[in-house]
């Protein structure tokens, strides 16, 4: 498995930013840089079938990719996390965050699909 991600900043306050379908790390590059400059440890995964990540036959791995990004933030020292994203990336970040790898201190989801569609994704 190959999932690319951009890590910016460091410290105990993590931020996971999930891009929407058909986009890439670039969706959140500017805000990621700004957050890192303010002392946040930012992780922007590039879900499979997007950008430099592995090409696979379907998009059924997005939840696993978000969980991997959160696990990496924790491994690198984050003690709590703010979750954000657009469309399926935001919904997926929220679902992964609800699994409790790190305490969630905030959530921002922009133009998310219905929750019923999100809960149908593999976990």
**What is the pTM for the complete model shown?**
0.78
Strands (E), the chain: 4-8, 13-18, 41-46, 80-86, 104-110
Q: Residues 14-40: pLDDT tens digits?
A: 999 987 777 678 888 999 999 999 999
Determine contact, residues 43/49, Cβ cutoff 8 Å: no
Query: Domain 4-119's class?
Result: alpha beta
pLDDT for 90: 80
The pair phi, psi for residue 70, each rounded to 5°, is -65, -40
Mention every residue, 6+ apart, whose C-beta is less than 8 A from residue 121.
Answer: 60, 62, 63, 92, 95
């Amino acid at each position: 498995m190959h999932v690319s991600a951009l890590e910016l900043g460091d410290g105990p306050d993590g931020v996971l930013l999930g891009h929407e379908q058909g986009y890439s790390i670039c969706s959140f590059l500017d805000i990621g840089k700004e957050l890192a400059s303010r002392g946040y440890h930012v992780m922007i995964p590039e879900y499979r079938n997007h950008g430099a990540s592995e090409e696979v036959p379907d998009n059924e791995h997005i939840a696993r990719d978000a969980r991997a990004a959160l696990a990496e933030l924790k491994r690198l020292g984050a003690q709590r996390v703010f979750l954000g994203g657009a469309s399926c990336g935001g919904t997926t970040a929220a679902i992964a965050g609800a699994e409790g790898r790190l305490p969630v201190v905030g959530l921002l989801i922009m133009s998310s699909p219905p929750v019923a569609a999100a809960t149908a994704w593999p976990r």
